[in-house]
Structure 1
Amino acid sequence: MTDLLAALLLGIIEGITEFLPISSTGHLLIAERWLGHRSDLFNIAIQAGAILAVVLIYRERLWQLAMSFLHRGDVPAASTGVYGQAPRDYAYKLALAFGVTAVLGVAVKKLGFELPTAVTPIAWALVLGGVWMLAAEHFAAKRATALGERSHVTWSVATLVGIAQVVAGVFPGTSRSATTIFVALLFGVTNRAAATEFAFLVGIPTMFAATGYELLDVLGNGQAAHEDWGLLAIAFTASAFTAFVAVKWLLHYIQSHRFTAFAIYRFVLGAALLWWVPAGH
């Protein structure tokens, strides 16, 4: 397989899986076993493409949140549609979730934790993550029936979402989006769209910070001098385009569907990997 095709495929895989609740890190680690390992800068580029797509999708919401700090007092929530919350209050909760992630993420880095690259633990994370999704969906549905429609994100939910991002980052295969969405659904929000939006919005500064940190490290050690920038551009574009389509589709899908199909996909993929890949690999 040519480097061009491999770069294109990896960009597409990143774009599709980054915000769907099926784990982008897990899919990329698995794909690289067959498509070849890529540089840190390459992985930064395709992740940046996926982030750009979500920024474009939520550009109006991000602008509303930013503009809320230029007004005296807060803008009425009804005028902005931030799920029943004043936009400045919502922005502060996003900041809290990001802050929790940043502090705990730095602590994990200081402890020297490294992501597992073997397929077996990733496969188990996919399967167990599917179980978690089904259980969380069940209990979230019961909460929604008992409590009614709740779209308001509380301070405790924001804190838990921040913790969930770190947990997902430590265990590839769990999925950052799945973990954060279902933490929000289980501990406060009953509206799937509201939980998903908060998870995606808090993912923007989180992923930008992680990408920026990795980029500084790559530029500092001179790896960028040996990079094929043409392949990077192709992979970045493929990731951005497919992420835009995937997120748009997901936001429409969850309006009338549960996340069950994603859990089933995780079961099938995880079981297939456990069956085909030798233990310990």
Structure 2
Amino acid sequence: MNLLETIVLAVIEGITEYLPVSSTGHMIIASSFMGIATDDFTKLFTIVIQLGAILSVVVLYWKRFFQGFDFYLKLFVAFIPAVVLGLLLNDVIDNLLESPVTVAISLIIGGFILLKVDDWFKANEEYDENNPTAHSEISYANALKIGFFQCLAMIPGTSRSGASIVGGMTQKINRKTAAEFSFFLAVPTMLGATAYKIYKYFKQGLVLSSEQVNYLIIGNIIAFVVALIAIKSFIDYLSKKGFKIFGYYRIVFGVALLIIHFFIYKLSI
């Protein structure tokens, strides 16, 4: 990796981490086009720079992280499925990460779901007395179910934020609350994924050069700044407009990837 590639991947991470478009899928494709996808450091980098995106959530919602022990317990409950399934399916997930076709198909399927999700859960956005089932509170049962939905993102191209937000909406939770809980859930999920990736990296006997350490620092800073902007913009847009534009984007991007892979340039990951 060089400095330009570092900046490009960090910007992609910052923009896409909290949008329902799959940050992993975008970085897999971008690194493949740049010819660095198979490099061990690139694989580590795409995970570790998520720490910058994590910090943006903590900074934006810092008051919410002091609202009581109950809040942390709910995050822990939602985090459990990812820990269990992540450890059990680690090899399968690693194989899927090497498939651009998997990314493209996941993007397309998820896109069609996002086109309809606003209609499916329209009642969640109604706060009047005629809709007593709509709510903005998340129970422990809700948290666990959202955690299982988040696990769908182990399939590259699915989108962790998209899966967990839709999971929240299936529990009759409004879009804004579901999105914010998805952001909070990203903190333990990304911390866990980062720690595990670093552990595996050094266990393989690999080391980091001073240049690579600098790239990690730069990448995290860029991801943090870009994610700050993306989160605020996304929450505002989502509350007013819904998911349709993200659905169209995923479909167009996924179809374009398939065309490129099979007819123009065989992506090698």
**Coarse TM-score class (shorter-chain normalised):** 0.7 to 0.9
In structure 2, the partner of 1:32 is: 31
Give the gaps of 5 or more residues in structure 1. Answer: 70-87
Residue 125 (structure 1) aligned to one of 97, 101, 106:
106
Q: Tell me the residue number matched to 1:192.
A: 175
Contact 2:107 2:158 in 1 (8 A): yes
- Report the CA distance shift for 1:174/1:110 in structure 2 as closer, same or farther (over 3 A): closer
| Cα displacement string for residues 121-149 of structure 1 (whole angstroms, at most 9, x for unaligned residues) | 21111010011112222111145457354
Bigger Cα displacement from structure 2, 125-134 vs 214-223:
214-223
Q: Which amino acid aligns with 1:61?
A: R
CA distance in 2, matches of 1:50, 1:224: 24
Evaluate the alpha carbon distance shift between residue 237 and residue 265 of structure 1 in structure 2; reply closer, same or farther with a 3 A threshold. Answer: same
Partner of 1:252: 236
Of 230-239 and 219-228, deviating more is 219-228
Alignment-derived partner of residue 53 in structure 1: 56
Residue among 125, 131, 140 paired with 2:121: 140
Q: RMSD in angstroms over aligned alpha carbons?
A: 2.2
Q: How does 1:185-264 map to 2 (within 5 A)?
A: 185-189=169-173, 191-226=174-209, 228-264=212-248
Is the Cα–Cα contact under 8 Å of residues 108 and 251 in structure 2 kept in the other structure? yes
Deviations along 1:12-41, one digit per CA (max 9) or x if unpaired, are 001111111100010011001122225133
Counterpart of 1:115 in structure 2 is 96
Distance in 1 of aligned mates of 2:172 and 2:89: 27
Distance 1:52 1:19, change over 3 A: same
Identity level (%): 34
Q: Amino acid of the residue matched to residue 247 of structure 2?
A: A
Task: Give me the whole-angstrom Cα distance separating, in 2, the residues matched to 1:42 and 1:111.
Answer: 20
Q: Which amino acid in 2 is paired with 1:93?
A: K
For 1:242 and 1:111, the matched residues in 2 are separated by 31
Could you tell me how far apart the structure 2 residues matched to 1:51 and 1:142 are?
Answer: 31
What is the distance in 1 between the residues matched to 2:207 and 2:230?
Answer: 29
Alignment-mate amino acid for residue 194 of structure 1? T
The question of whether the paired residues in 2 share the 8 Å contact of 1:30 and 1:119 is answered with yes
Write the distance in 2 (CA, Å) between the matches of 1:98 and 1:214.
17
Alpha carbons 2:47, 2:193 under 8 Å: kept: no
TM-score by length of 2: 0.87
Flag structure 2 segments of 5+ consecutive residues without an equivalent: none
Residues 195 and 117 from structure 1, CA distance in 2 versus in 1: closer, same or farther, beyond 3 angstroms? Answer: same
The alpha carbon displacement at 1:150 in A equals: 1.3
The separation in 2 between residues aligned to 1:275 and 1:53, in whole angstroms, is: 35
TM-score (norm 1): 0.83
Q: Which residue of 1 aligns with 2:140?
A: 155
Partner of 1:187, secondary structure, is coil
Partner of 1:182: 166
Aligned residues: 256
Q: CA deviation at 1:262?
A: 0.7
